[in-house]
Structure 1
């Protein structure tokens, strides 16, 4: 069988991770012939070890993309890790709220509420994430989602969201606590990326004991115009 061919405009499935202590190694990776398909829309997310400078990954990507006349969009995130979720206090659930999971029937809701969603490619990606990786959801008495968090293909907590009508009730605190405990029980670290401008989520994670790791994680979208051109 031949290798799986990803659509050239699907930056959700064309995703790569690169974490290095040596910025030169990252540059060599990008310059390796055949390593990346520069004619597609794709993401690289990653960072450098401490002491390398927080701008290393983005700067190298921009320099190499510039030689190829490729447009980039760079987003910056903090990485948060909880050192021991077993120490988290027991969450208090509202009597009318129960813990559950999202199902494929909720994919349209996820696609509508995700910052990076709203199109057919993001919907397909979210459906795959729902089907393959853990998620956690708080539901009302009728089983309708109120607040949730997903896990992406890199094992990272993602798309944490509370419906506007149900905010300021401690739901996200409960979801983060339970998700961290479940990750630990499965033998995985409890970590995620939070946008540098999302101060409420940063404060909540720090209140719960999550530690912000040094430096920044960069999400670098290559050929964003190509990605937006699809359905």
Structure 2
């Protein structure tokens, strides 16, 4: 297994994974984040280079332990043999890199591309979460309720985009986070606020913002 550290190799890997969407979604977002400042200090491991068949995105210097996804830090991906193609060619000097294509759907939750059917109710506004909300998130997350999950959620709030709908006092009513793999995670609506279309609005806005940054949005 080889750890890719060369920026040119990582960029070529991103281009190749983009051509394999949506199957490559589990690692594509992580590679995009690595190539854009690497806020979570991840690394990419491949089985060989340049003709790779497997990719592993993980925390730098993290050893495989079986804790993958849902608060874990590793996601492996194996390219189906029928889809293995040569690496995408490097762009010519002066040629802008190709833009990631929007992903209309996959075996993950399909993207929501349409605008919300109804306008937000009076007093409901769009905002983002802050570290001050970490206890609320930890209490409401299916995988939360412990010190490890709290640290993980605090990291997401600090490093990656989040979006929420708030009431007039700034209290979050509905929200969604983004993890190091580019996945939409911990989507939640307070029980008293459900059946109002709030989550649909949050996911639609999150999709639009992610794609404006060149990222696919999935969950």
Alignment equivalent of 1:155, drawn from 170, 177, 182:
182
The answer for the alignment partner of 2:200 in structure 1 is: 173
Within the candidate set 116, 122, 146, 1:95 is matched to 122
Question: Which residue, out of 42, 53, 62, partners 2:67?
Answer: 42
- The structure with higher relative contact order (CA 8 Å, sep 6+) is 1
Alignment gaps of 5+ in structure 2: 1-39, 69-73, 83-105
Is contact 2:116–2:201 with CA below 8 Å preserved after alignment? no
For the 8 Å contact 1:98–1:138, the answer to whether it is kept is: yes
With normalisation by structure 1, the TM-score equals: 0.52
How far does residue 78 in structure 1 lie from its aligned partner after superposition?
4.1
2:24 is aligned to none
Q: Which protein is richer in helix relative to its size?
A: 1
Which residues of structure 1 form unaligned runs of 5+?
1-12, 30-34, 53-76, 193-231
Report matched runs for 1:60-75 at 5 Å. Answer: none
In structure 2, the CA distance between the partners of 1:101 and 1:14, relative to structure 1 (3 Å rule), is: closer
Out of 180, 183, 186, the residue aligned to residue 213 of structure 2 is: 186
Match of 2:151 in 1: 124
CA contact (8 A) 1:14 1:42 kept: no
Q: Does the 8 Å contact 2:138/2:153 carry over to 1?
A: yes
1: CA distance between counterparts of 2:186 and 2:214?
Answer: 22
Q: Secondary structure at the match of 1:110?
A: helix
Partners in 2 of 1:17 and 1:171 — Cα distance?
36
Q: 1:170 to 1:90 in 2, by over 3 A?
A: closer
SS of the residue 1:146 aligns to:
strand
- Contact 2:141/2:186, CA 8 A, preserved across alignment: yes
Offset, 1:165: 1.1
Q: 1:181 to 1:146 in 2, by over 3 A?
A: same
